[in-house]
Chains A and B, each alone.
Chain A
């Protein structure tokens, strides 16, 4: 069963006096299955936040269709079973995080006892236990992000939608959010999130979509999207200090690229070249192999290629 279904979604922003139009989404289609962790990628201004705003009913849609938990947006019934963390969240200045969570719980129709228990548990889970007495106005960016995460989870939602949940977090915070997303998935929940941190996306997501210029360019499992064949191999060698310069030059010539640092040589061997032969030659020259790393295309490479395609297309149009 699909939890989110988006078909040909279009959104045009208009400035108040209709002088300027921005086509932010030009026919976006994808669906998210129950129990999936789904990553939504794209460069700045691609339309990620716009898609999420449309899904959350924060803004009207110009064309196409969007359904959440079986109901067309905006649906109050669907929001009952869903949690949302906006991009760069901001809350009421003078509330504490407990008061904020209490408000969220009330709006979700929870009983007082449930609200208190759930809020207490979440405050610890997002690492804000030390800031219970502090007004939200005095929270740092990362702390606000954590408070927002807790607020999104207050009603134990089936579907969690997060707009850049890792932004503004320190490395520990990022790991905590990764763990949190995995915990949600293990509890059978669906997580949909946008992000710029490709390594996180690659390791966390069951499926990803790449959005560029208001359109979906790629969608699928991370390892199906990227080319898994080895593109090149990195060979790191330790060389003796008194080694003959000509021997080094001969070794270096075996790589497509090479770089010499103090006592070391880094060779990048093109795919298709016999790496064993390179290693044997290094051995013969008295070098020691430190590391051999086969390189595949990563999500980052794909991402950069898609963005470059888009920039190229713009050049041609111009």
Chain B
């Protein structure tokens, strides 16, 4: 058991080390900081609202760029190892295939956590510059965005266990887009005349992870309007959403491991 964790950790650490030397990731951090600076500029224009704009932009930026990074790193995570033949020397070591998959995902968790952390620091700095305190609502929104990014990463890794980066990317982006508009799907089920549309929407709700639960600011939760700038959800909601994400991550990884176990590495 501990030996297994030791091996998983070795793979995770290695994945992080490799990713930490990918220069594009730093470019993404720069872009996010630029978005935050843009937020300041826009906030200055709408005099009374600058803290609101900065918060909304900050959180949305983390969720958007974090998810896109998760997809672009995740879709090559397993497939790339086979294509570049790096997996041969690794999998011939005394390492179970599921340990490899879990280790790779964990390495990505480290990378994405560092990234979200960097985004959060940039955003806090912007808020501090504007003299706006980091409220509990912002902390909750950050945790939610972090879990959204980790869930999206699991989606990408799942596809990467059996298909090419191009297909994985297409599927993952589609799931991500659908997962974020689950309220619209529910509305379609409630209001649509066509049974066909109802069934498609119902099917989508079953197979697509609900990502909307992570980005609720500006929308309704249980009929109540919530916003990082005003009344926001409580920590109980955050815990429930995190558990929802963790379950999806576990399920996707179990599937990825099962598929990966059967694969021929040629």
Given A92-B18, A94-B17, the answer on whether A58 and B266 have CB atoms closer than 8 Å is yes
Is B89 interfacial (CB-CB < 8 Å)?
yes
Given A89-B88, A91-B86, the answer on whether A99 and B10 have CB atoms closer than 8 Å is no
Question: What 0/1 readout, one digit per residue, does chain A (51-72) give for beta carbons within 8 Å of chain B?
Answer: 0010011111000000000000
Is B234 interfacial (CB-CB < 8 Å)?
no
Contacts of B88 in A (CB 8 A): 56, 58, 84, 86, 89
Question: What 0/1 readout, one digit per residue, does chain B (1-24) give for beta carbons within 8 Å of chain A?
Answer: 001001100110010011001100
Is B95 interfacial (CB-CB < 8 Å)?
yes
Contacts of A53 in B (CB 8 A): 265-266
| Cross-chain contact A108 with B94 (CB below 8 angstroms) | yes
| Cross-chain contact A79 with B21 (CB below 8 angstroms) | no
Q: 8 Å CB contacts to A: which residues of B90-127?
A: 90-96
Q: 8 Å CB contacts to A: which residues of B11-66?
A: 11, 14, 17-18, 21-22
Is A116 interfacial (CB-CB < 8 Å)?
no
Contacts of B22 in A (CB 8 A): 94
Shortest beta-carbon distance from A106 to chain B in Å:
4
Contacts of A94 in B (CB 8 A): 17-18, 21-22
Shortest beta-carbon distance from A98 to chain B in Å:
12
Interface range on chain B (Cβ under 8 Å from partner): 20 to 34
A107–B17 alpha-carbon span in the complex (Å) = 16
Q: Smallest CB-CB separation from B7: which chain A residue? A: A107
Contacts of A59 in B (CB 8 A): 264-266
Contacts of A77 in B (CB 8 A): 94
| Cross-chain contact B10 with A103 (CB below 8 angstroms) | yes
Is B85 interfacial (CB-CB < 8 Å)?
yes
Inter-chain contact count A-B, CB under 8 Å?
Answer: 86
| Cross-chain contact B94 with A76 (CB below 8 angstroms) | yes
Number of residues in A with C-beta < 8 Å to the partner?
Answer: 34
Partner of B93 from the list A88, A99, A108 (CB cut-off 8 Å) is A108
Is A151 interfacial (CB-CB < 8 Å)?
yes
Partner of A95 from the list B3, B7, B18 (CB cut-off 8 Å) is B18
Contacts of B86 in A (CB 8 A): 90-92
A266–B95 alpha-carbon span in the complex (Å) = 60
Q: Smallest CB-CB separation from B163: which chain A residue? A: A16
Given A79-B92, A107-B7, A107-B93, the answer on whether A90 and B85 have CB atoms closer than 8 Å is yes
Q: Smallest CB-CB separation from B87: which chain A residue? A: A58
Q: 8 Å CB contacts to B: which residues of A132-174?
A: 148, 151-152, 155
A155–B95 alpha-carbon span in the complex (Å) = 13
| Cross-chain contact A91 with B14 (CB below 8 angstroms) | no
| Cross-chain contact B264 with A60 (CB below 8 angstroms) | yes
Given A58-B91, A107-B90, the answer on whether A89 and B85 have CB atoms closer than 8 Å is yes
Contacts of A76 in B (CB 8 A): 94-96
Q: Smallest CB-CB separation from A58: which chain B residue? A: B265
Q: Smallest CB-CB separation from A88: which chain B residue? A: B85
Shortest beta-carbon distance from B104 to chain A in Å:
12
Is A109 interfacial (CB-CB < 8 Å)?
yes
Contacts of B18 in A (CB 8 A): 92-95
Q: 8 Å CB contacts to A: which residues of B129-166?
A: none
Q: Smallest CB-CB separation from A152: which chain B residue? A: B89
| Cross-chain contact A79 with B266 (CB below 8 angstroms) | no
Is A80 interfacial (CB-CB < 8 Å)?
yes
| Cross-chain contact A57 with B14 (CB below 8 angstroms) | no
Which among B21, B93, B262, B265 has the highest number of chain A CB atoms within 10 Å?
Answer: B93
Extra inter-chain contacts (17) besides given A76-B96, A84-B92, CB under 8 Å: A13-B264, A53-B265, A56-B88, A57-B92, A58-B264, A58-B266, A76-B94, A79-B95, A85-B89, A90-B86, A94-B22, A99-B14, A103-B10, A107-B93, A109-B6, A109-B7, A151-B89
- The contact sample of 26 A-B pairs, CB cut-off 8 A, is A53-B265, A56-B88, A56-B91, A57-B91, A57-B92, A79-B94, A82-B92, A86-B85, A86-B89, A89-B89, A90-B85, A90-B86, A91-B89, A92-B14, A94-B18, A94-B21, A103-B10, A103-B90, A104-B93, A106-B6, A106-B7, A107-B10, A107-B90, A107-B94, A109-B3, A109-B7
